[in-house]
Amino acid sequence: MYPYDSIRDYVASLERRGRLVRIPEMDQDAYEITAFAYRLNDRMRDKAPAFLIERTKINGTLYDTPVVGNLYNGYSTIAQCFGVQDITDEQSAMYDATVERILSFLDREFTWKKIEPVAIQRNCAPCKEVVLTGNAVDLYRFPWIKNNPADAGQYISAGSVIMHDPELGRNVGTYRMQVKGHRKTGVYFTNQSHGYKFMMRAMERGENKVPVSVAIGIDPISWMMSSTRLADVGEDELAIAGGFRGKPVEIVKSETNDLYVPAHAEFILEGYINTETEEEGPYGEMMGYIGKKTFTAFTIEVEAITHRKNPWVYNLWPGIGGAYLTVPWDVAHFARLKKIMPHLVKLHTPPDTPSVVIACIDKRLPGEGIEIGMLILGYRMVGFSKKVVIVVDKDVEPTDLSRVMHAVGTRWQPGSASLIVPQTTHIPIDPSCREMFLSGKIVIDATRQQPGEGGPDVYPEDNRTALEERAPDAFALVDKKWTKYFQK
Ligand SMILES: Cc1cc2nc3c(=O)[nH]c(=O)nc-3n(C[C@H](O)[C@H](O)[C@H](O)COP(=O)(O)O)c2cc1C
């Protein structure tokens, strides 16, 4: 039941909706799960279900620890995570309902509601059902996945790294962790991450071993908070997760350090981060390209592992299907931009087309398409990571990429309705950029061009809009009779 306390409660609800496929066994030495994840999404797109593999072969060993993936695919599933009632498979309706629900968690100052986490006793915490310390600590007891033959090795891809700073409090962030030994992993903080900031501050205080606990397999909202930057530095991700959930996240103290961790996690790794950096990667990253080897990753010495009985490994295949929940990003940016630009109707970041954002506007005046595009590019939280801003009219559904591309093909004039910025700040992992942090950017104004913008004197109606406006009940009629058409 919503709100889900654990990844299991959530997966059980997916299964009840027929959105989970269970597979008895797969051979990851042959990269079977990776190819399966691709095919599932190639063939089923936003209806591709989550999967749970009961047994997985890795390095010749058959592990009976289940591996779960593709948990957040499609807007019906995402709507479910945020507690939308009446879930259907209508992507745009589910997206709109999710946005509306998320807006209710933002206050007038654009800050997220918070409910502080609550500490529970260790004997009530599922993540403590099994406690491994001393010689029993061995990461190779569990099936961490090597996603791609080009990856440097097995990775803990969906960990939530928990650190503490005396002034800033708790930080929870997702950073990839290459498995480097029985008790050792890498941890790669980009230098814009809060994890990096916490690390630098600890080093300035003269610490050379920074305590850390890593939660793997946590409830959807805490996972969202860990893997997207919704919290400012100094804000507690778990308190914001509580606000979204309308119920506190339950936490419990780690066995070997003072960090509190989500009590319903599948696994907790405890240890410390070494301040020396070393070689890490390459790794198939979320832009969909194999990243460069880095020499700036820290390492974690693992001192204890606690886990549920029969724990699940949650793994991500970055760049394939639904890995994490980004809609609150859209919503936070949308709410702020709408204040400056009331004609903004929707803002959509398609999860599988990195660096592209689609803004939908109720255009009145000439130039408004380019104007909103400039605002988005100049607005760092969105513009920082967005290279292509496509602006469409309000009759184009921004979650339907075929309709967006139809507008680009039929309403956009490249010569007069584009704005190219030769170079500005960008995320460091875009493979098309020569200089890290610098990229060209473009606004594609795919709104109907008015005469003052060089468009035709009379813009022809498009067929679909003409139907919607002149026969407003036609789609409702078909929707009502939809299942009947297919009855034999
Ligand atoms: C699957 C996945 C892997 C990620 N890997 C990294 C990583 O290796 N290093 C990093 O700095 N950020 C990574 N990120 C992005 C961070 O999780 C994200 O920026 C988050 O806000 C970090 O938390 P922080 O803002 O508290 O630093 C990853 C995100 C996801 C979803």
The pLDDT tens digits of the residues spanning 301-354 come to 999 999 999 999 999 999 887 767 889 988 988 999 999 999 999 999 998 888
Whether the per-residue pLDDT at 383 is higher than 70: the answer is: no
Task: State residue 111's pLDDT score.
Answer: 92
Task: State residue 267's pLDDT score.
Answer: 98
Instruction: Please give the average per-residue pLDDT across 73-82, as a whole number.
Output: 95
| Residues at CB less than 6 angstroms from ligand 1 | 157, 171, 173-176, 188-190, 193-195, 227-229, 316, 318, 323-324
Q: pLDDT band for position 382 (50/70/90)?
A: low
CA of 194 to the centre of ligand 1 (A): 9
Q: Where are the beta strands (DSSP E) in 176-293?
A: 177-181, 184-187, 209-216, 250-253, 260-262, 267-280
Closest CA to 142 of 155, 125, 160, 129: 155
Rounded CA separation 190/188 (Å): 6
Conformation bin of residue 437: beta by default, left when phi > 0, alpha when psi is -120 to 50: left
- Name the residue with the closest Cα to ligand 1, atom 5: 175
How would you label 285-304 residue by residue, b for 16+ Cβ within 10 Å and e otherwise? bbbebbbeebeebbbbbbbb
pLDDT tens figures, 78-122 = 999 999 999 999 999 999 999 999 999 999 888 999 999 999 999
Q: Which atom of ligand 1 is nearest to the CA of 324?
A: 31
CA of 447 to the centre of ligand 1 (A): 34
CA of 155 to the centre of ligand 1 (A): 14
How would you label 397-436 residue by residue, b for 16+ Cβ within 10 Å and e otherwise? bbbebebbebbbeebbeeeebebebeebebbebbeebeee
Residue-averaged pLDDT of the chain = 95
- Name the residue with the closest Cα to ligand 1, atom 6: 175
- Name the residue with the closest Cα to ligand 1, atom 30: 227
Rounded CA separation 446/296 (Å): 42
CA of 13 to the centre of ligand 1 (A): 27
Q: Is the dihedral of CA 219, 327, 284, 163 positive or negative?
A: negative
Task: State residue 70's pLDDT score.
Answer: 96
CA of 158 to the centre of ligand 1 (A): 10
Residue of 193, 222, 300, 329 with the most ligand 1 atoms within 8 Å of its CB, for mutation: 193
Task: State residue 430's pLDDT score.
Answer: 87
pTM for the structure as a whole: 0.96
Domains of the chain, each with CATH number or no CATH: 7-73+105-314 (2.30.110.10), 327-462 (3.40.1670.10)
